C-alpha cells in the first residue's frame, strides 16, 4: 500500500509539473503547437523555425517584396534580418535558437521515464531510480549514492526527497543555466546601453566599450527596487484589458455587418421572386459581389482581431509568468519578461493608434431603383448594386486612455507617391505635411502655392490655392 501511494504521489507531482510549465515558452503563437526548432526574435517572442520562415516569406511577398524588415507576429515590433544579403527564405534560420525552450522541452520529454541516479549512470547502471535531489549540486541520487557520495562532501546540505520536490522548478532552473545562444554559457551580465543579456564572452566581444554593464543580479535588484516592474505590470494589465475590449468591439461590428448581409440577401431574394427567369445571371453577379465585399471587410476585421488576440494572450502570459518568475527567484526570466513586456506595451500602443486611424463603421446594403418592379419586358433591367458604406468611427472609450505620444513613435517608410497635382506648373517643393484621421495627408507646396489633399494610398484628391506667400525658414 505504501509503495502504491508513493507511485500515485509521484504521478501527481509529474502531472502538476507539466501544468506549471509556462505555456508561452513551449507553444508557437503561429501554429499553437509545441515549439519545433524554436527561434527567438529580438523582442524575445519565439516561433517554430518553419512557421517563422513561412510567415516572413508570406509577409514580404507582392508589394512588400522589396522591404528589408518584417513585423513580429505577436507584438508587431519591426524586426530587421540578421543578414539581408541572403534570401528571405533563410532569414528565420539566422535568428537565435531559444535554448531555454529547447532544454525545457527535452527535460519534459525525459520525465516520461523514471528519474535515475546520476552517479549510478556514470558507473553504467542506467536503471537505478533516484530517491533524492541535491539543490546545491542540482543532482539526483539513489539512497546508496546519497550516503557514499553526497553525504561525504556536502555535510551542510540535506538532499530533498524526490517526491517532495517541485520538478517544474528544477527543470526551469536547469534550462535557464544554458542561457546564451551564441556561446552556450550562463548569461550573467546585462548591458544597459544595448538593453540585452549576455554571457562573459558576449560582454568581452560585443560590449567592452559600453558604459553601463552590470551583473544580472544587480540589474534585477535595480528593477525590483524601482517601480519599473510594478508600473509595467499595471500597464500590461491595462493594455490586455484594452485588447479584450477591442476584440469584443470587433465581434459586435462583425455581428452587425452579418445582419446587414442577411438583410441585403433577403432584399435580393424578394426581387428575384418577381423577375426570376430574366435575372438569374444578374442575380448571381450581384450575389458574388455582395459576398466578396462582405468577405473582404470581414477578413480585414478578422486580421485586426487576430492581432489584438495574439497581443492580448502574449501579455496575459507575461503577467502570469512574471508572478511565477518572482516566486521562483528566476533572475534571467525576470529580466526577459521585463524586456518582453516593454515590447508588448509599446506594440499595444502602436496597434491602438493604427486601429484608431483606420477604424471604420462598415455597413453593406443592397440598393436598387424601386421602379424596377413596374418595368415591361422591353426595358433594360438591373438588380441594383452592392454598396459598402465606410465611415470613420472612434474606438471604445476604455481603449482611448492608452495612447502613444509623438516622441515615442517610430517611423517606417511604407510607400512613395508623387505630390504633383493636375494644375501644378512648377516643380513641386513640399514645405510640410499633416496627417489627418483616416490616413489622409495634406501637403503644402511652396512652389505652386497650394495645399494638396491625398488619400491614405497617396492618390490625389483635391487642392486649395493659397493667396499668400509661403516662406521657407532657413
Residue 379 shares a structural domain with residue 295: yes
Return the closest-CA partner of residue 118 out of 143, 146, 148, 139: 139
Residue 420 shares a structural domain with residue 382: no
Residue 407 lies in a domain: no
H helices then E strands: how many in the chain? 15, 17
Residue 232 lies in a domain: no
DSSP 101-119: HHHHHHHHHHTTS--B-HH
Q: How far apart are CA 222 and CA 212, in angstroms?
A: 13
* Centroid of chain to Cα 409: 18
Give φ, ψ of 198 to 5 degrees: -165, 160
Residue 337 lies in a domain: yes
Q: Report the pLDDT value the prediction gives residue 24, as an integer from 0 to 100.
A: 55
Q: Report the pLDDT value the prediction gives residue 165, as an integer from 0 to 100.
A: 58
Residue 141 shares a structural domain with residue 211: no
Q: How far apart are CA 363 and CA 367, in angstroms?
A: 12
Residue 194 shares a structural domain with residue 331: no
Distances (CA, A) of 446 to 42, 258, 358, 440, 469: 43, 48, 30, 20, 8
Residue 169 lies in a domain: yes
The residue assigned the cell 525552450 is 101
Residue 93 shares a structural domain with residue 162: yes
Contact 27, 179 (CB under 8 A): no
With a cut of 50, which residues of the chain have pLDDT below it? 1-21, 175-178, 470, 472-474
Residue 13 lies in a domain: yes
Q: Report the pLDDT value the prediction gives residue 87, as an integer from 0 to 100.
A: 82
Residue 264 shares a structural domain with residue 379: yes
Residue 91 lies in a domain: yes
All 3 cell numbers of residue 6?
508513493
Residue 220 shares a structural domain with residue 139: no
All 3 cell numbers of residue 348?
499595444
Domain that holds residue 108: 2-178
CATH of residue 42: 3.30.40.10
- Rg (Cα) of the chain, in Å, rounded? 31
Q: Report the pLDDT value the prediction gives residue 5, as an integer from 0 to 100.
A: 40
Q: Report the pLDDT value the prediction gives residue 433, as an integer from 0 to 100.
A: 86
Q: Report the pLDDT value the prediction gives residue 3, as an integer from 0 to 100.
A: 38
**Domain termination residue (choose one: 225, 252, 285):** 225
Residue 166 shares a structural domain with residue 206: no
Residue 315 shares a structural domain with residue 360: yes
DSSP 144-177: HHIIIIIHHH-TT--PEEGGGS-HHHHHHHHHHH
Number of domains the chain contains = 4
Q: Report the pLDDT value the prediction gives residue 16, as an integer from 0 to 100.
A: 43
Max CA separation in the chain (angstroms): 108
Residue 95 lies in a domain: yes
Contact 388, 293 (CB under 8 A): yes
All 3 cell numbers of residue 392?
470613420
Q: How far apart are CA 335 and CA 228, in angstroms?
A: 12
Residue 457 shares a structural domain with residue 354: no
Q: Report the pLDDT value the prediction gives residue 261, as an integer from 0 to 100.
A: 92
In three-state secondary structure terms, 154 is: coil
Residue 154 shares a structural domain with residue 207: no
**Domain termination residue (choose one: 355, 371, 401):** 401
Q: How far apart are CA 346 and CA 318, in angstroms?
A: 14
Phi-psi region at 73: left, alpha or beta (left = phi > 0; alpha = psi -120 to 50): alpha
Long-range contacts of 157-162 (CB under 8 A, 24+ apart): 159/132, 159/133, 159/134, 159/135, 160/132, 160/133, 160/134, 160/135, 161/131, 161/132, 162/10, 162/115, 162/130, 162/131, 162/132, 162/133
Residue 76 lies in a domain: yes
**Per-residue model confidence as pLDDT tens digits over 379-409:** 666 777 888 887 777 778 777 666 655 555 5
Residue 74 shares a structural domain with residue 151: yes
Q: How far apart are CA 271 and CA 275, in angstroms?
A: 7
All 3 cell numbers of residue 216?
544580472
How would you classify the pairing of strands 96-97 and 38-40? antiparallel
Distances (CA, A) of 269 to 171, 276, 314, 459: 63, 9, 45, 38
Amino acid at each position: 500500500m505504501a509503495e502504491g501511494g508513493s507511485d500515485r504521489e509521484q504521478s501527481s507531482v509529474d502531472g502538476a509539473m507539466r501544468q506549471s510549465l509556462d505555456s508561452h515558452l513551449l507553444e508557437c503563437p503561429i501554429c499553437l503547437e509545441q515549439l519545433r526548432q524554436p527561434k527567438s526574435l529580438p523582442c524575445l517572442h519565439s516561433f517554430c523555425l518553419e512557421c517563422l520562415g513561412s510567415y516572413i516569406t508570406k509577409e514580404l511577398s507582392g508589394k512588400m517584396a522589396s522591404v528589408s524588415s518584417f513585423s513580429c507576429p505577436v507584438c508587431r515590433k519591426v524586426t530587421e534580418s540578421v543578414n539581408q544579403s541572403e534570401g528571405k527564405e533563410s532569414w528565420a534560420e539566422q535568428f537565435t535558437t531559444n535554448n531555454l525552450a529547447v532544454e525545457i522541452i527535452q527535460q519534459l520529454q525525459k520525465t516520461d521515464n523514471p528519474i535515475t541516479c546520476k552517479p549510478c549512470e556514470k558507473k553504467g547502471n542506467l536503471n537505478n531510480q533516484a530517491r533524492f535531489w541535491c539543490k546545491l549540486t542540482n543532482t539526483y541520487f539513489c539512497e546508496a549514492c546519497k550516503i557514499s557520495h553526497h553525504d561525504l562532501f556536502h555535510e551542510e546540505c540535506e538532499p530533498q526527497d524526490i517526491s517532495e520536490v517541485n520538478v517544474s522548478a528544477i527543470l526551469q532552473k536547469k534550462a535557464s543555466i544554458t542561457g546564451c545562444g551564441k556561446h552556450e554559457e550562463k548569461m550573467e551580465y546585462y548591458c544597459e546601453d544595448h538593453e540585452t543579456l549576455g554571457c562573459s564572452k558576449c560582454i568581452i566581444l560585443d560590449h567592452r566599450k559600453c558604459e553601463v554593464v552590470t551583473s544580472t543580479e544587480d540589474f534585477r535588484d535595480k528593477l525590483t527596487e524601482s517601480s519599473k516592474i510594478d508600473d509595467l505590470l499595471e500597464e500590461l494589465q491595462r493594455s490586455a484589458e484594452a485588447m479584450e475590449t477591442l476584440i469584443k468591439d470587433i465581434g459586435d461590428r462583425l455581428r452587425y455587418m452579418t445582419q446587414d448581409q442577411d438583410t441585403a440577401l433577403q432584399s435580393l431574394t424578394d426581387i428575384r421572386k418577381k423577375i426570376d427567369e430574366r435575372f438569374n445571371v444578374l442575380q448571381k453577379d450581384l450575389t458574388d459581389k455582395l459576398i466578396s465585399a462582405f468577405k473582404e471587410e470581414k477578413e480585414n476585421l478578422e486580421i485586426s482581431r487576430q492581432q489584438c488576440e495574439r497581443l492580448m494572450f502574449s501579455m496575459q502570459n507575461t503577467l502570469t509568468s512574471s508572478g511565477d518568475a518572482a516566486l521562483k527567484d528566476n533572475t534571467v526570466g525576470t529580466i526577459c519578461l521585463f524586456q518582453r513586456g516593454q515590447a508588448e506595451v509599446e506594440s499595444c500602443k502602436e496597434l491602438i493608434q493604427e486601429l484608431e486611424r483606420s477604424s471604420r463603421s462598415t455597413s453593406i446594403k443592397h440598393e436598387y431603383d424601386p421602379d424596377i418592379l413596374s418595368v415591361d419586358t422591353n426595358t433594360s433591367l438591373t438588380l441594383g448594386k452592392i454598396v459598402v458604406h465606410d465611415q470613420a468611427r472612434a474606438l471604445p472609450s476604455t481603449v482611448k486612455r492608452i495612447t502613444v505620444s509623438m516622441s515615442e513613435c517610430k517611423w517606417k517608410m511604407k510607400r512613395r507617391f508623387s505630390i504633383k497635382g493636375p494644375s501644378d506648373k512648377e516643380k513641386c517643393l513640399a514645405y510640410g505635411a499633416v496627417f489627418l484621421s483616416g490616413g489622409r495627408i495634406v501637403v503644402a507646396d511652396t512652389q505652386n502655392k497650394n495645399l494638396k489633399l491625398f488619400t491614405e494610398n497617396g492618390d490625389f484628391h483635391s487642392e486649395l490655392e493659397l493667396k499668400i506667400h509661403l516662406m521657407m525658414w532657413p
